[in-house]
Amino acid sequence: MKVAVGRSDPSSSSARRRCDGRLRGLDMTAGIVWPDGKRFAFTVFDDTDHATVDQVSSVYSFLSDCGMRTTKSVWPLRGEAAPRIGGSTCEDKEYLRWLLDLEGQGFEIALHNVAPSTSLREDVIRGLDRFKELFGHDPACFANHAGCDENIYWGADRFSGLNRTLYRSYLRLRKRRIAVTGRGHVEGDPHFWGDLCKARIKYVRNFVFRGINTLEKCRFMPYIDPQRPLVNYWFASSDGRDVDAFNDCISEGAQDLLEEQGGLCIMYTHFALGFKEDGQVKPRFRELMNRLSRKNGWFAPVHQVLDHMLSAKGVHILTPKERTRLERQWMADRVLHQYHWWWCVN
């Protein structure tokens, strides 16, 4: 991969910063050349919480106008119980028509559990089959939905050894009243579906970090974790959970840094949380995304970006040292910035 310093005077401080950024990007993206001469990659995984056609369709129309194609997650089923956090499901005919049109435009449809409330194994099977029936394929990407007991490698099970103990202690200190659970990987449990995850889903999101360059925090993704064998490949994301966090993450300076580093942003967000006001996409979000779209970036759905990285870098098996560092980096990120307990599980 070439490092293009440009025509700036290399003795100037700004040129040195640009050069240093590109060198850092070379290290973080070793073995990766973005398609078609693009300088960086940017995509979004939109958790479907609170989403309705009215809430999010204008956001996706705007993304399409910007030339971006991202990933929208769904719930195939309505679910049996009242959800802790809900929104429209694929059982809503108007919403489903909109989703199918969105996929036809090149957006990816992914899974955020099969329903907004807890599902037993037989419900997961029905939901996965329904997803395939509706969209013609199994979901390539998946993210756990807060509050569902069938979540896979969730809560304390995201961590290993001492880090698991530290995480449980952190929850006690936060006086968490709602348990962070997940039994989808526990064979014999009524909520077990780990074998289905292994057979039918390629990528699963795990840790979410502050900062626009996701590769800076997890340079080896997508990766295999031998301690969590029921997931094929894991990926990380950057934190843009609502419109304010999203805008902070893609500030002008952050965009320029991402470009200089030749990096990758896989943004985690909820497009139903504050991106629209008075029927329009919020001005600051529009301004920042328009600016980003004019850069020489690759704006493809999550699974396409991960497939490209896997092809470029090959399979990476997480080492114990890398696992420990990744887990502690996530915990430090959350504790130092004192996020509200609800967000600490995402």
Contact between 115 and 151 under an 8 Å Cβ cutoff? The reply is no
Residue 9 placed within a domain: no
In a domain, 14, yes or no: no
Q: Tokens standing for 152? A: 């896979």
Question: Domain with 319 in it: what CATH number?
Answer: 3.20.20
Cis amide leading into 139 (omega within 30)? no
> Confidence class of residue 334 from pLDDT cuts 50, 70 and 90?
confident
Q: What is the mean pLDDT of residues 212-231?
A: 97
Nearest to 301 by CA among 10, 101, 54, 102: 102
Question: Does 280 map to a domain?
Answer: yes
pLDDT band at 343 (very low <50, low <70, confident <90, very high): very low
Which residues, including other chains, have CB under 8 Å from residue 157's CB and lie 6 or more apart?
164, 182, 185
Q: Which residue has the higher pLDDT, 259 or 16?
A: 259
Query: Considering the domain boundaries, does residue 3 fall inside one?
Result: no
Q: What is the pLDDT of residues 290-321, one digit of tens each?
A: 999 999 999 999 999 999 999 999 999 999 99
- 115 inside domain: yes
Query: In this structure, are residues 95 and 53 in contact, taking their beta carbons and an 8 Å threshold?
Result: yes
Is 26 inside a domain boundary?
Answer: no
Give the range among 16-30, 206-220, 221-235, 261-275 with minimum mean pLDDT. 16-30
pLDDT of 178 > 90? The answer is no
Secondary structure (H, E, C), 83-120: CCCCCCCCCCHHHHHHHHHHHHCCCEEEECCCCCCCCC
pLDDT of residue 170: 77
Strands 297-298 and 40-46: parallel
In percent, the amount of the chain with pLDDT more than 90 equals 78
197 within a domain of the structure (yes/no) = yes
Tell me the CA distances in angstroms from 329 to 66, 317, 345, one per residue in order.
33, 19, 14
Q: Does residue 223 have a pLDDT over 50?
A: yes
Closest CA to 133 of 91, 168, 176, 86: 91
Residue 7 has pLDDT above 50, yes or no: no
Q: Is the pLDDT of residue 115 over 80?
A: yes
Into how many domains does the chain fold? 1
Residue 21 lies in a domain: no
pLDDT in the model for residue 144: 98
CA neighbor of 211 nearest in space, from 183, 171, 238: 238
What range defines the domain where residue 280 resides?
A: 40-345
